[in-house]
């Protein structure tokens, strides 16, 4: 570890989530080395926020005690850590820790952990929940999995600046399993609330009043409490989490169930719905999914002014 009390952190991935998370690390006094596939983004981060731009992934690994990946999926994490022609593990020392904070497939995480362990590097998985607004304010919920106690302690120690809670979920891959299952439940709640709102509106109920009732009743959810009035009913569709990512996470949950030999009919149905919507509305925010049901029924809600 670094000579002072804080380890040197190598951060891979400066997207909508990675940028604010890495910013919190810099603001907390960590020596952060950053790398993004878009060099201009890395340079902009260093210029606006601080930290040091790593010229290559190998160089980032060589100068970091802990390497964090916050990239689109497990394949991208594996490329960055072990499979790419330029990868971080080429430079990482034995005893270093890697943390995959991406939304990755649990079985792939276990395989990645085995590949890194052969190099003397311990892997933890630590996906997050909360979306871009919680990433911005440093209040993410983090699901931390791993098999090595020292690596888990090192990982948890650096997460305070970006999180409101860190929960240890079990062995390696368990964090990613919990993340996809949590997002599956979120997708169910959003989908069911979309259906309820459209049925009620057709009958003559005011959708805004419906949300008020739902939010003081047993049908409430994070979706009804935080997304419907500001993002769905206004038709701003700006909740900050892409439809493609929700579709991916629900698909990962379905794959996890299949790998366990389980038949989950609701999960399978929901996977198909989200894939269909994502194909029809590429680049959309997940809060726009109400359009799937509107299009099936030939109806469109009138936007509200309440944000």
**Residue-wise pLDDT tens for the chain (307 aa)?**
444 589 999 999 999 999 999 999 999 999 999 999 999 999 999 999 999 999 999 999 999 999 999 999 999 999 999 999 999 999 999 999 999 999 999 999 999 999 999 999 999 999 999 888 899 999 999 999 999 999 999 999 999 999 999 999 999 999 999 999 999 999 999 999 999 999 999 999 999 999 999 999 999 999 999 999 999 999 999 998 999 999 999 999 999 999 999 999 999 999 999 999 999 999 999 999 999 999 999 999 999 985 4
**Of the candidates 151, 140, 141, the residue with the CA atom closest to the CA atom of residue 117:** 151
CB distance 249 to 183 below 8 Å: yes
Other CB atoms within a 10 A radius of the CB of residue 171 amount to 14
**Of the candidates 102, 97, 103, 100, the residue with the CA atom closest to the CA atom of residue 117:** 97
Residues 135 and 99: their CA atoms lie apart, in Å, by 17
CB distance 168 to 155 below 8 Å: no
**Of the candidates 182, 212, 187, 219, the residue with the CA atom closest to the CA atom of residue 292:** 187
pLDDT of residue 37: 97
**Of the candidates 243, 234, 239, the residue with the CA atom closest to the CA atom of residue 207:** 234
Q: 232's torsion region: left (phi>0), alpha (psi -120 to 50) or beta?
A: alpha
Phi, psi torsion values for 298, nearest 5 degrees: 65, 35
Residues 90 and 222: their CA atoms lie apart, in Å, by 42
pLDDT of residue 305: 80
Structure tokens at 43: 């340079």
pTM: 0.91
pLDDT of residue 4: 55
pLDDT of residue 191: 98
pLDDT of residue 307: 46
pLDDT of residue 131: 86
């Amino acid at each position: 570890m670094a000579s002072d009390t804080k380890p040197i952190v190598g951060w891979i991935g400066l997207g909508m989530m990675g940028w604010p998370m890495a910013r919190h690390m810099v603001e907390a006094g960590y020596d952060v080395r950053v790398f993004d596939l878009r060099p201009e983004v890395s340079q902009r981060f260093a210029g606006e926020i601080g930290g040091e731009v790593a010229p290559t992934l190998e160089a980032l690994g060589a100068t970091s005690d802990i390497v964090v990946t916050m990239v689109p999926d497990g394949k991208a994490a594996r490329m960055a850590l072990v499979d790419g022609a330029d990868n971080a593990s080429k430079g990482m020392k034995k005893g270093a820790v890697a943390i995959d904070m991406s939304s990755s497939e649990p079985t792939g995480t276990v395989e990645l952990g085995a590949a890194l362990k052969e190099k003397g590097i311990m892997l933890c998985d630590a996906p997050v929940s909360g979306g871009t607004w919680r990433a911005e304010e440093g209040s993410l919920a983090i699901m931390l999995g791993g098999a090595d106690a020292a690596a888990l302690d090192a990982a948890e120690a650096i997460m305070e600046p970006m999180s409101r809670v860190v929960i240890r979920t079990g062995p390696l891959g368990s964090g990613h399993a919990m993340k996809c299952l949590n997002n599956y439940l979120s997708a169910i709640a959003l989908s069911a609330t979309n259906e309820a709102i459209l049925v009620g509106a057709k009958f003559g109920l005011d959708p805004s009043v419906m949300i008020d009732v739902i939010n003081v009743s047993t049908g409430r959810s994070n979706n009804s409490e935080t997304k419907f009035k500001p993002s769905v009913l206004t038709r701003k569709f700006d909740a900050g989490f892409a439809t493609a990512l929700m579709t991916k996470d629900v698909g990962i949950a379905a794959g996890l169930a299949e790998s366990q030999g389980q038949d989950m009919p609701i999960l399978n149905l929901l996977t198909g719905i989200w894939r269909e919507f994502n194909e029809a509305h590429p680049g959309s925010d997940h809060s726009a999914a109400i359009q799937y049901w509107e299009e099936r029924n030939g109806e469109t809600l009138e936007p509200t002014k309440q944000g």
